[in-house]
Amino acid sequence: MNDRPTRASRLPWRRTPRLSADDLPQDGGATFRALRHRNYRLFYFGQSISLCGTWMQTIAQAWLVIELTDSKVALGTVTMLQFLPITMFVLFAGVIADRVPKRNFLVATQSVAMVQALVLAALVWTGNVQLWQIYVLAFVLGVANAFDQPTRQSFVMEMVGRDDLMNAVALNSGMFNGARLIGPAIGGFLIAAVGVKVAFLINGVSFIPVIIGLLMIETSKLFGSPRKTGKINPIGELREGLSYAFRTPSALLIIILVAIIGTFGYNFTVMLPLLTKYVLDAGEIALGLMTGAVGLGALVSALVLASRATATKKTLFVGATAFSFLLGAVALSQWLLLTLPLLFLLGLANTAFASTANTSLQLATPDHLRGRVMALYMLLFAGSTPIGGYLTGVMAEAWGVQTAIFIEATLCLVGVGIGLAYYLAHKQEVVDSATAVQTAA
């Protein structure tokens, strides 16, 4: 391993001001200021293309499963298998993320995801696709994502530095949800016109720009600390990261909220197809519009956050509370024209909460632990989806789609209450622990 120090390891972080009771430190500035970093521009534009394809495949896969099986449980099972590897492997992936050259590792994980999409396209195109094959390929994609996500999350800091982190996280959320707006909308029309096979093929091809962008990144211009070297001790290093997250109040607050809302609230890949078919009695185009409505709301929210460049506790709790209530309202709606604006507002609240949680946790974590702490974040944010996704399918089968989603909305609201109670009881400790990381940086 080449341990020659980069420019980033030779230069210290710029000091940031002390935290107030409500705000994490961030300078104001232009909405797109993180794009001044060439490395981040390459990453951003490559990911923008790839994510559109990813969202096309998401709704195509869900629709393919429903068409093949007409089973709510089968759809929940596919979601479980796609996210189960995150549950199984993401914590150890965080250990790797703190050791490997992140750019090269991301090239490998993105290449695996590209092959998975192309294999699925070939199976559907030849008419040989079967449910068990979708299960296997969903699991393969989950393995790639398990190792990709903590590396990608912690790589953002290396590309832009601390001062532009909130802006970059908000722009990433805008990119992700802009793709959620464009990809499903196009995908819905493509599925209706030519079938799901084209969506899978386009997704496979869309990985090429992001791989090229990653290969063009200049590693000498990355920010951050030198990678951890020496003999690897996976259990010990994992314990170090988890211990920090659970004993540091500023990190633990985020962990509490994300654990509950991630498990019961972020099951869109199961929830939206079920609502489309079994509640609204609509088709592929409606599914694309509904997914796009969430994306549009999230995009608007991300742009507002990027322009403010602040991560406040007020935004965190208001976003989480609004998300819970709006999810309950979506569950009760039986009309598409009402569901679409509710989903738009749900997207607003979702991004306000998720972007603030992501930024707050990264800024509250020392550089040498960031991969492992963000792996825990991804475990709770996405790795809990196998539980929530499968429960959604089972509850929907037993009690109906609307009842299942309303129960999950109620559990999200309970989680917000638990998080708020912890914050009010440990407010000063939350501020002090976050300040300690900032002043040491």
What pLDDT is stored for residue 226 in this prediction? 54
Tokens of residue 423, six digits: 């914050």
Residue 89 lies in a domain: yes
pLDDT tens by residue, 196-252: 888 899 999 999 999 999 999 988 888 765 555 556 777 888 888 888 888 889 889
Residue 8 lies in a domain: no
Please, which pLDDT band fits residue 132 given cuts at 50, 70 and 90?
very high
Residue 18 lies in a domain: no
Residue 6 lies in a domain: no
Residue 265 lies in a domain: yes
Tokens of residue 82, six digits: 């796609």
The SS3 of residue 311 is strand
The answer, yes or no, to whether residue 419 has pLDDT greater than 50, is yes
Please, which pLDDT band fits residue 118 given cuts at 50, 70 and 90?
very high
The SS3 of residue 23 is strand
Give how far the C-alpha of residue 387 lies from the chain's centroid of Cα atoms, to the nearest Å: 16
- Residue type for position 34: A
Q: How far are the Cα atoms of 273, 287, 305, 388 from residue 270, in angstroms, in the given order?
A: 6, 11, 28, 9
Please, which pLDDT band fits residue 56 given cuts at 50, 70 and 90?
confident
Residue 354 lies in a domain: yes
The answer, yes or no, to whether residue 373 has pLDDT greater than 80, is yes
- pTM (2 decimals)? 0.71
The pairs formed by 1-8 with CB atoms below 8 angstroms and a separation of 24 or more are: 1/227, 1/229, 3/226, 3/227, 3/229, 5/226, 6/219, 6/220, 6/222, 6/226, 7/220, 7/221, 7/222, 8/158, 8/221, 8/222, 8/223, 8/224, 8/225
Would you mind telling me the total number of residues written for the chain in this entry?
A: 441
The answer, yes or no, to whether residue 11 has pLDDT greater than 60, is no
More confident residue, 417 or 227: 417
Structural contact between residues 232 and 16, judged by C-beta atoms closer than 8 angstroms: no
Q: Strand pairing partners for 24?
A: 311
The domain tally of the chain equals 1
Domain around 356: 33-218+234-440
Structural contact between residues 39 and 159, judged by C-beta atoms closer than 8 angstroms: yes
What pLDDT is stored for residue 308 in this prediction? 66
Distance from C-alpha of 351 to C-alpha of 32, rounded to nearest angstrom: 17
What pLDDT is stored for residue 438 in this prediction? 62
Residue 238 lies in a domain: yes
What pLDDT is stored for residue 1 in this prediction? 40
Percent of the chain with pLDDT over 70: 87
Structural contact between residues 253 and 415, judged by C-beta atoms closer than 8 angstroms: no
214: domain CATH number is 1.20.1250.20
Give whichever of 42-51, 86-95, 167-176, 375-384 has the largest mean pLDDT. Answer: 42-51
User: CB 333: neighbour CB atoms within 10 A?
Assistant: 18
Give whichever of 20-24, 83-87, 314-318 has the largest mean pLDDT. Answer: 314-318
Residue 227 lies in a domain: no
Give whichever of 252-256, 285-289, 426-430, 436-440 has the largest mean pLDDT. Answer: 252-256
